[in-house]
């Protein structure tokens, strides 16, 4: 496995690498977190603790499939840690004692100011490195907790202030994506004393409906409920929120822990390039196990070598300069698709998709089973290349619209 120095400062804490377990079933006890440390994870965000003791349902998971691909998206109905507060505190204390160079983040959730402050004191006393305030769990049975709090900027600020009264540790405010503008509660959390932002938590969802029983999934004694959605399918939403946070004037210098659909080193690199300094993973671990961190460390190291990055700091946020408002995009040209006859298998998917869902810009040569481009109709949308199963369609000729000045185009 190829490695290089992936260490990074996050919220004033030196981390051996940016890869952490997120607060979830994957970091629910000492044994699990210890195994993750041995595998190479730089830190763990221990499953959220509080004075609230959940009573869980069974079954509690469902996953979205597409054709033969499982785990495109994942639904989770689990709440915070089911072990006693005392057990969880002892587990985190033991982790820090036995793995002093690893980072232990204590995720906490209270129901009022007094609970938030008391929890902050308790996790500070066991030598946690960072506190994460869970303002975002979408399936709590108490409306005084979770995403209902995260959508209320005044509460977010008040509870961050309570945590800061109870601790001098760095504080992460974990944001809910179940909101239109995340910058509002994020700014409130910083005004309340938070050091950084963690996002995104899971998205409220109904993953599917049993068509025979006419009940949502998973089925719990003939009923179901809205709960959190995660996995690869939420990555584009997570990236959008992180980009908006990092380009907000009041938040641009605030450290972010990125969460949402990270499975591979490529996913990790995307989050880093949009400004994340730390990365949290759950769903991919639930599917593949802790060892995926080995591939992520190796792949990210190779990528850094290839691009000439000496350290992670060199790549943080570089992609944000190239994401601009839609009204500022260059609309002066069309990129036509180019077809490679040697790769084409004559399936006709591009023709069907263009005719039924595009601009009828492909004619069909039935004799040779080949698509033929009709430039007069083509608008350069590239739906055809997105549906092609053999990747035989690439970007071809560039033509400038009437009156537009010809220039170099980056594709």
Per-residue pLDDT reduced to its tens digit, 163-195? 999 999 999 999 999 999 999 999 999 999 999
Q: Are 149 and 134 in contact (CB under 8 A)?
A: no
Predicted confidence band of residue 143 (pLDDT cuts 50, 70, 90): confident
Instruction: Give tens-digit pLDDT for 337-367.
Output: 999 999 999 999 999 999 999 999 999 999 9
What is the average pLDDT score of the chain?
Answer: 96
pLDDT at 147: 86
What is the pLDDT confidence band of residue 293, given thresholds at 50, 70 and 90? very high
pTM of the model: 0.95
Task: Give the pLDDT of residue 1.
Answer: 58
pLDDT tens digits for 91-126? 999 999 999 999 999 999 999 999 999 999 999 999
DSSP code string of 128-192:
-SEEEEE---TT-SSTTSTHHHHT-HHHHHHHHHHHHHH--S-EEEEPPSSSS-THHHHHHHHHT
Options 11, 33, 133, 137, the catalytic residue = 137
Burial category of 371 from C-beta neighbours within 10 Å (exposed 0-12, middle 13-18, buried 19 and up): buried
Going from the C-alpha of 63 to that of each of 202, 216, 232, the distances in angstroms are 13, 12, 11
Known catalytic residue: 29? Answer: no
pLDDT in tens, 7-43: 999 999 999 999 999 999 999 999 999 999 999 999 9
pLDDT band at 2 (very low <50, low <70, confident <90, very high): low
Can you read off the two tokens belonging to residue 212? 């025979």
Check if the beta carbon of residue 232 is closer than 8 Å to that of residue 263.
yes
Helical packing angle, 153-166 and 183-191, nearest 10°: 30
Please give the pLDDT value at position 3. 67
Domains and CATH numbers, the chain: 8-322 (3.20.20.70), 330-400 (3.30.70.20)
Nearest to 205 by CA among 230, 174, 235: 230
User: What does residue 64 show for φ and ψ, rounded to 5 degrees?
Assistant: -85, 130
Nearest CA among 387, 332, 335, 331 for reference residue 357: 387
For strand 256-259 and strand 278-281, is the pairing parallel, antiparallel, or unpaired?
parallel
Could you give the CA distance from residue 172 to residue 394 in angstroms, rounded to a whole number? 43
Q: Of 188, 205, 215, which is closest to residue 77 (Cα–Cα)?
A: 205
User: Residue 265: what pLDDT?
Assistant: 98
Note the pLDDT tens digit of each residue in 63-91: 999 988 889 999 999 999 889 999 999 99
Tokens of residue 121, six digits: 């004191």
């Amino acid at each position: 496995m190829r490695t290089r120095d992936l260490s990074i400062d996050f919220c004033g804490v030196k981390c051996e690498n940016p890869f952490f377990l997120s607060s979830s079933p994957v970091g629910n006890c000492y044994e699990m977190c210890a195994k993750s440390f041995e595998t190479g994870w730089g830190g763990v965000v221990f499953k959220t603790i509080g004075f609230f003791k959940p009573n869980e349902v069974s079954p509690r998971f469902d996953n979205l499939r597409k054709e033969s691909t499982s785990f495109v998206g994942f639904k989770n109905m689990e709440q915070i840690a089911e072990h006693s507060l005392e057990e969880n505190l002892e587990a985190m204390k033991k982790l820090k004692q036995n793995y002093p160079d690893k980072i232990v983040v204590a995720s906490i959730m209270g129901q009022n100011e007094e609970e938030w402050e008391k929890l902050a004191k308790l996790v500070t006393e066991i030598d946690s490195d960072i506190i994460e305030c869970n303002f975002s769990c979408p399936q709590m049975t108490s409306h005084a907790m979770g995403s209902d709090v995260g959508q209320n900027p005044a509460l977010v600020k008040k509870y961050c202030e309570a945590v800061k009264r109870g601790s001098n540790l760095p504080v992460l405010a974990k944001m809910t994506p179940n909101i239109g503008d995340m910058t509002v509660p994020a700014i409130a959390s910083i005004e309340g004393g938070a050091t950084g932002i963690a996002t995104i938590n899971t998205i409220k969802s109904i993953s599917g409906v049993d068509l025979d029983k006419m009940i949502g999934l998973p089925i719990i004694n003939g009923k179901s409920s809205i709960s959190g959605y995660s996995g690869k399918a939420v990555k584009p939403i997570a990236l959008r929120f992180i980009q908006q946070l990092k380009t907000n004037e009041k938040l641009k210098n605030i450290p972010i822990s990125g969460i949402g659909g990270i499975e591979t080193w490529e996913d990790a690199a995307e989050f880093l390039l949009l400004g994340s300094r730390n990365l949290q993973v759950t769903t991919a671990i639930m599917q593949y196990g802790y060892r995926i961190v080995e591939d992520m460390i190796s792949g990210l190291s190779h990528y850094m070598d290839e691009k000439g990055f000496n350290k992670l700091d060199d790549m943080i946020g570089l992609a944000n300069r190239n994401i601009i408002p839609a009204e500022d995009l260059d609309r002066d040209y069309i990129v036509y698709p180019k077809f490679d006859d040697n790769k084409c298998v004559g399936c006709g998917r591009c023709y069907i998709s263009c005719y039924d869902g595009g601009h009828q810009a492909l004619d069909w040569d039935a004799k040779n089973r080949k698509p033929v481009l009709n430039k007069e109709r083509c608008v350069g949308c590239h739906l055809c290349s997105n549906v092609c199963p053999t990747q035989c369609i690439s970007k071809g000729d560039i033509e400038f619209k009437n009156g537009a000045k010809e220039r170099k185009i980056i594709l």
